[in-house]
Structures are given as structure tokens and as C-alpha cells.
């Protein structure tokens, strides 16, 4: 009887500990996902800005800027692959938007 009580207490304690750890891990993953999303947006804005500068008469045809634009586009393609993997928060945001719309 005592053995069963001890095993139950240990099991409940381990379950509580694992739930706390799982919550912490999920919070960290969501933070990383949001941060990576911001990084992807910054890279996209940089690429657009660079193309805008390149289209100015003063810089049009500059080989260095053309290489920077090409490189930024390659980075965007590379980041798009990672964005699909790390995009955890958009599903949550979409669910929140759907819930808000159904409440209205």
C-alpha cells in the first residue's frame, strides 16, 4: 500500500514537472518563431530598399548594387525555406482572428 502511494506521488510530481517544462519549451519556440518572422521582414525590406536605390539614375547599372540585389534575393529564397518551417505563430494568429470574427 505504501509503495503504491509513493509511486503515485512520484508519478504526479514527474507529470507536473514535465508539463512545466513543456510549457517553457513551447514559449521559447514561439519567441524564436516571432523573432525569425521579424528578421525575415527586415531582410525583405532591405532588399526592397536596395532595389529602390539601384533604380535611381545616379546608381542605375552599378555592378556592386546589382550584386547586392542578387545576393539579397538569394537570401530571401533561403529564408523563405526556413520561414515555412519556423512559422508557428501565424497559425495561432489565424485561429485568434477566426475566433474574433465569429464572436462579432
- Enclosing domain of residue 70: 33-90
**Can you give the pTM of this predicted structure?**
0.53
Query: Is 40 part of any domain?
Result: yes
Does 89 score more than 60 pLDDT? no
pLDDT-based confidence at residue 7 (cuts at 50, 70, 90): very high
The total domain count for the chain is 1
C-beta separation of 29 from 35 below 8 A: no
Instruction: Specify if 26 maps to a domain.
Output: no
Residue 86 domain-assigned? yes
CA distance 102 to 89: 20
Tens digit of each residue's pLDDT (9 = 90 or more) over 8-40: 999 999 999 999 999 999 888 888 877 887 888
Res 92: pLDDT: 58
Distance in angstroms (rounded) separating the CA atoms of residues 82 and 68: 21
* DSSP 8-state symbol, 56: S
What is the mean predicted confidence (pLDDT) over 38-62? 79
pLDDT at residue 86, as a whole number = 64
Alpha-carbon distance of 31 to 25, in angstroms, equals: 10
Asked, for residue 60, whether it belongs to a domain, the answer is yes
Amino acid at each position: 500500500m505504501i509503495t503504491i502511494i509513493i509511486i503515485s506521488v512520484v508519478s504526479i510530481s514527474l507529470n507536473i514537472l514535465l508539463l512545466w517544462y513543456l510549457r517553457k519549451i513551447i514559449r521559447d519556440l514561439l519567441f524564436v518563431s516571432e523573432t525569425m518572422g521579424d528578421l525575415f521582414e527586415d531582410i525583405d525590406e532591405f532588399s526592397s530598399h536596395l532595389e529602390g536605390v539601384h533604380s535611381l539614375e545616379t546608381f542605375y547599372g552599378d555592378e556592386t548594387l546589382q550584386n547586392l540585389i542578387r545576393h539579397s534575393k538569394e537570401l530571401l529564397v533561403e529564408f523563405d525555406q526556413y520561414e515555412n518551417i519556423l512559422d508557428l505563430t501565424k497559425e495561432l494568429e489565424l485561429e485568434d482572428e477566426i475566433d474574433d470574427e465569429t464572436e462579432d
